[in-house]
Amino acid sequence: MEWERSCHVEFGVGWVDCHMAEPGDVDGWTHEGVLVSALVTPKDCARCHVREHEEFSRSHHAKAGEILESLDNVLAEKAAGMPADIADAVNGCWQCHGSIVKFLRDEQGQVMKTGKEGKPMIDPDTWPNSGMGRLNPDGSKG
């Protein structure tokens, strides 16, 4: 419904234009004969929005997720009792900073799939994930 009210509709941009996947994308699967992705990342948006992507990728906001591997994050986890109390991280840090989007994997390390189309399964501990510094599987941030 949001897409139907968006300016993308006015310019003829469809769902597949944004959710298009490349062969080998960890989040890709074939949906109704088209290779699509589970996630729309800044890298995907850059196909049309080059200037906006370049500006955002240089911003402090794009780097917000980098705190996840910093000493500041380790100290916050210790103070909050992580990983035992993930609610603090979800409602505190991750809400704004984002976290690392991960996919569920089997014992061999392969991404687990669901349904007849083989949609990759996002790790529910990492989704939903709307933080501005979200770290995406394609290497993009935000």
**Structural domain boundaries, residue 11:** 3-126
Q: What total number of domains does the chain contain?
A: 1
Number of C-alpha atoms within 13 angstroms, CB side, residue 96? 7
The length of the chain, given as a count of residues: 142
SS3 of 82-94: the string is: CCCCHHHHHHHHH
Judge whether 24 and 6 are in contact, CB under 8 Å. no
Does 141 reside within a domain?
A: no
Instruction: Provide DSSP, 33-99.
Output: TEEEES---HHHHTTT-HHHHHHHHTSTGGGGGGGGGSHHHHHHHHHHTTTT-HHHIIIIIIHHH--
Q: What angle do CA 20, 26, 30 make, to 5 degrees?
A: 50
The pLDDT of residue 74 is: 65
Domain-embedded: residue 80 = yes
Query: For position 90, what pLDDT does the model report?
Result: 61
Report field, pTM of the whole predicted structure over 0.75: yes
Kindly state whether residue 136 falls inside one of the protein's structural domains.
no
* Averages of pLDDT over each 10 residues, the chain, 142 residues: 90 93 92 92 94 92 76 64 61 76 94 92 87 88 86
Assess if residue 138 is contained within a domain: no
